[in-house]
Amino acid sequence: MPGSNMSDQLKDRVAVVTGAGRGIGRGIALILASRGAAVSVSDIDGEAAGTVASEIEAAGGRAHSGTVDVTDPVSINDWTASAISHFGAIDICVPNAGVIGAAGFTERRDYTADDWRLTWGVNVLGMVNTADAVMPHMKERNSGKIVNIASHGGRAPRGVQDPGRGSVQAPYSVSKAAAIQWTHHLAMELGRYNINVNVVCPGRLWTPMWESIALNHKALNPDLADLSAREIFDLTIDATMPLGRSQTPEDIGKAVAFLASDDAAEITGQALNVNGGAIMN
C-alpha cells in the first residue's frame, strides 16, 4: 500500500530544526530522521545539538549540526547556508527554538521587561529570522514546508485550573499567540510558491521548560511546598486534560512529520493542537 511504510514518509527530504538540542526540538529531530529525512540540528548549545546529531547517525540516519542563535540573523543565515551546502537543499524548516522567560523566572510572580524582551526576541523574532533564512531557497525551488512550533498557551488564556499560574507567564503566552498569527500571514504570502506553512501547538510535556514552570508554581504557592516539580506537573495534567496524560516530544514530532509530508499537501495556515484535549479549537 503506497505510503504505508512510515520510515519512508520523508525519504530524500532535508529538514532543519532550531532549538533541537533537547526537549521538544530533540523529539522532532529524532522523529523526522526516523521517517527518512536528513536533519540539520541546531541549538544555541552547540554541544547538545551535536549529541542529537550523533544519535541520529547512530541509528543509521543522516545529520548535520551547528551552534545557532536564532535572534541573530547572521547566525541563522550562516547555518542555513551550511545545511544547504552539506545536504544540497532544504525541504522542511521547523522553527522550534523557544524560551519561557528571563533569568529568575522560577521565583517571580510578575513579569519583567527582560521577560518580554527575551520571549519576543526568541519566540517571535527568532521564528521570523529562521523563516527569512530559508524562504529565498524555497521560493527558488517552488517547494517547501515550514512547520512552526508555538504552544496551546497562545490559543486561549488559562487561569484558575492551573495551580499557581501568575502573570509571569504572560510574555510567553503572548509570544506564542504572535507565532500563530505569523504562521497565518506567512501561509498567505508563500502559498503562490507552493510552500505550506503550519504551526503545531504543544500542550504540556515534561521538559526542562515545564519543570521551570512547575518550580515557579512551587515558589509562589505554599500549598505546593511539599510537592516535587514533577508532582505539580502531574496535578495540572489531571486537572486539565480529557485524555488524562501529558504529551511527549515524540508526539509533537509525529505531528510535525505529518505536516511536513505529502499527505498534508493541501493543508496550510493551520494551527494544530497536540495537547490531549486541554484546549479545543
Give the three cell numbers for residue 181.
498569527
218 pLDDT above the threshold of 90: no
pLDDT digits (tens, 9 = 90+) for 18-63: 999 999 999 999 999 999 999 999 999 999 999 999 999 999 999 9
The one-letter amino acid code at 87 reads: F
The residue among 4 and 17 whose pLDDT is bigger is: 17
Angstrom distance (rounded) from CA 31 to CA 36: 9
Judge contact between 73 and 135, C-beta under 8 A.
no
- The model carries a pTM of 0.90
What are the chain's domains? 11-204+249-273 (3.40.50.720)
pLDDT tops 60 at residue 1 = no
State the chain's maximal CA–CA distance in angstroms.
57
Report the pLDDT value the prediction gives residue 157, as an integer from 0 to 100.
66
Q: 63: closest CA among 52, 76, 77?
A: 52
The pLDDT value recorded for residue 164 is 43
pLDDT at 279: 85
The predicted-structure confidence for 70-105, as pLDDT tens digits, reads as follows 999 999 999 999 999 999 999 999 999 999 899 987
Residue 161 is predicted with a pLDDT of 41
**What's residue 52's pLDDT?**
98
* Residue pLDDT, tens place only, 120-167: 999 999 999 999 999 999 999 999 999 999 999 898 765 444 444 457
Catalytic option among 172, 206, 210, 233: 172
Rounded Cα gap, residues 160 and 273, in angstroms: 21
**How far is 40 from 52, CA to CA, in rounded Å?**
10
Round to whole Å and give the CA distance between 12 and 36: 7
- In this predicted structure, the answer to whether residue 2 has a pLDDT above a threshold of 50 is no
Q: E strands, 92-244, where?
A: 92-94, 144-149, 195-202
Helix and strand numbers (H, E) in the chain are 9, 7
Amino acid, single-letter form, for residue 159: G
Mean model confidence pLDDT for the chain: 92
193 is catalytic: no
